[in-house]
Structure 1
């Protein structure tokens, strides 16, 4: 197993996972992990919510932009740009305390994250020399769980040894340089690839009633993902008797996220994507409501497992189903799904900080979030009535 061979499947998958740790962990999720210490002496909960929202705006714009890049050589170029942006914007957070600089760095980091996850995943899929790539891509997307777990361990090591959250950002950026360098080396091509890019016309017939319901349901999942994805450690720490447990809960999110993609995708293959998406969203609703209904330590730690165990899998389930529904023209439908999810991501932190400000508690924001995700579940049940037999079995 030659991990320095650019054409080795093992090296390609490792490079893909490491790139996700940089793009999703260092540039996005560790912000949530570092939120409690940052709230103590720098951020307010309102500004934290605004920063999360504009980070998702950057990610949304990057995701849409990514669907327009057809040429694989151009994808490699933007993937490289994404890695550099994620590392540079992380250093900025450790060295600056200027609000405007933080705001700009978070939106740029969001764009960089999209280049790594969306464009980088396309490069991984192109490079893999395997006939059936579904299982390999499931392993690749386990990088989202690893991104939470690994960056949380790095943050813990810095703070445990007396470091500050500013120093944690710098150490994370240094880690990002090494992980990113390996990914950049492996996820490139020895020579430019000549490609005949097939141009598909916009096909309005793709947007059936079933697909429209699916897109709206994915918007509600964007909302369901982001509230805990932004505030979970602080939500747990704010509960009576649970101060200090937020960090452990976030570690469990990462651990649960690592195998979740493979498990949910396996179930979808057996029982149909639509049925499994509904089950996963119902499980997620339970996880969201736990922290609003009880301060029991074990149940709240379990809420982290339910969150980590659903959100990664739901992204893979929706995207995989969208790709199957679109057939030879996946870019349009995947772009529409990603846009809907992104709008949910951008809006959720904004209503959350308003409700926290009004009630001095996260409970109301969690109730609203759970309600919105439940609307998504109801829409999917209605969508089943409009689905063909083939669509139900996908």
Structure 2
């Protein structure tokens, strides 16, 4: 009976994590993308303001990544996560009333803050309650919410838009509130962690420092690599390839399907192949898919490439978490600190990359392939950094 109860409690905790990532990131960030043209057409805001308001969520995400641990220490992770889901729901309701650009910016910023806090705290609150052999799959299930949100942005949002712009924002608010209520009692109680003490902890930290630095660098490069097609896929298909907005919407749905498959697939692979091997394979798949997007015009090939590319944004966090747990085994306190730092690095790099790609896009006269090339180069640097680490490690081992 205890085993059954433990499994049920674990399942409830994972469900809560999935709901949080769906509300705070999947819907709060990605549901905004298909709303951009209708908001302009409905004269809610001019085009330049809509782009500016979209960036508010990324800025808020960075702020949230920095606030996650302080909020957890002061109020507890359960209370902080519940509050962030409520805040996201309120932001959706507030955005149904475009009183001014400033009003809208504040609520988009706050929805980004919620997403950043959720990214830092959700997995670290749930995974301590999951058996070690299932952490990869559990982590994938938590971040599956991001993929579901991306898929909904291509399916549910267009259906809501048929009713009206205000009804769309209100509908997203109702959905977020229902998910918040459904997960309210499912959050597990915090597992109290304490900083390790003594010489053994110092030795472990020194031995892991280089691997952690590599993890930070590679996580940042992953952010640079995923941004181009996350931002410009729809525009590339519609205008770059000249296939029109209907075909572009279809590609975004395929991207969303990939986003739903990625977290669970990569999490499953991580449990069986190991986090490092899965990360390596995932990066090679992404490079191949981006190259196909750059040079192929075959419809089916581009669909398959889009499916693989869509798996990457929500697939990166669970793999990075699995690598982190391997570097700092059994040190929950250290894992939480490093995950918070890694999320901050990712958020900052993603925001800077977004602005950088936008500038490069404008300066290149709207050349999507240049952006994809930069993204592929960032991904290739991940592979090269792994090779460099192995080469540098050989002389070190030989000298020991």
SS for the counterpart of 1:96 is coil
- Give 1:23 shift: 1.2
- Correspondence for 2:24: 23
Q: 1:146-295 to 2 correspondence within 5 Å?
A: 146-159=148-161, 162-187=162-187, 197-200=193-196, 205=206, 208-238=209-239, 239-295=241-297
Structure 2 alignment gaps of length 5 or more: 1-5, 395-400
In the alignment, structure 1 residue 383 sits paired with structure 2 residue 379? no
Answer with 321-330 or 259-268: which moved more: 259-268
| TM-score of the superposed pair, with normalisation by structure 2 | 0.82
Measure the CA separation in 1 of the matches of 2:165 and 2:270: 40
* CA shift in 2, pair 1:334/1:117, >3 Å: closer
Specify whether residues 6 and 96 from structure 1 end up closer, same or farther in structure 2 by C-alpha distance, changes over 3 A only.
farther
Alignment equivalent of 1:300, drawn from 285, 299, 302:
302
More helix by share: 2
Q: Could you tell me the TM-score, scaled by structure 1's length?
A: 0.83
Q: Is the 8 A contact 1:62 1:110 kept in 2?
A: yes
Structure 1 position 62, deviation (Å): 1.6
The equivalent of 2:374 in structure 1 is 368
CA distance in 2, matches of 1:364, 1:46: 23
Looking at structure 2, the residues matched to 108 and 207 of structure 1 have their Cα atoms a distance apart, in angstroms, of 35
1:334 alignment partner in structure 2: 339
Q: Decide which moves more: 238-247 or 103-112.
A: 238-247
Query: In 1, distance between residues paired with 2:388 and 2:132?
Result: 36
Say if 2:26 and 2:145, in contact at 8 Å, map to a contact too: no
Q: Which runs of 5+ in 1 are unaligned?
A: 389-394
1:350, CA displacement in angstroms? 0.5
Mapped partners of 1:271, 1:7: distance in 2: 27
Deviations 1:166-221 (A, max 9, x none): 432221111111111111233266xxx7x754134796625644432332121110
SS in 1 for 2:28: helix
Note the alpha carbon deviations across 1:12-42, whole angstroms, 9 max, x for none: 3333322322112221111123334345555
Say whether the 8 Å CA contact 1:256–1:305 is kept in structure 2.
yes
Whether the 8 Å contact between 2:119 and 2:343 is mirrored in structure 1 is no
2:247 and 2:236 map into 1 onto residues whose CA distance is: 10
Q: Are the equivalent residues in 2 in contact too, given 1:222–1:340 (CA < 8 A)?
A: no
Instruction: Give distance in 2, aligned partners of 1:311 and 1:349.
Output: 14
Q: Output the CA distance in 2 between the equivalents of 1:38 and 1:6.
A: 45
Compared with structure 1, are the counterparts of its residues 96 and 316 closer, same or farther at alpha carbon in structure 2 (3 Å cutoff)? same
Do the aligned partners of 2:20 and 2:81 also contact (CA within 8 Å) in 1? no
Is the CA contact (8 Å cut-off) linking 2:130 and 2:138 kept in structure 1? no
71-80 or 312-321, larger mean C-alpha shift: 71-80
Distance 1:355-1:129 versus aligned 2 partners, 3 A rule: closer
Is residue 2:108 matched to residue 1:106? Answer: yes
Spell out structure 1 runs of 4+ moving beyond 6 A.
Answer: none
1:392 aligns to what? Answer: none
Cα deviations by residue, 1:35-89 (Å, 9 ceiling, x for unpaired): 3434555567765554444422322222233234565961111112211221122
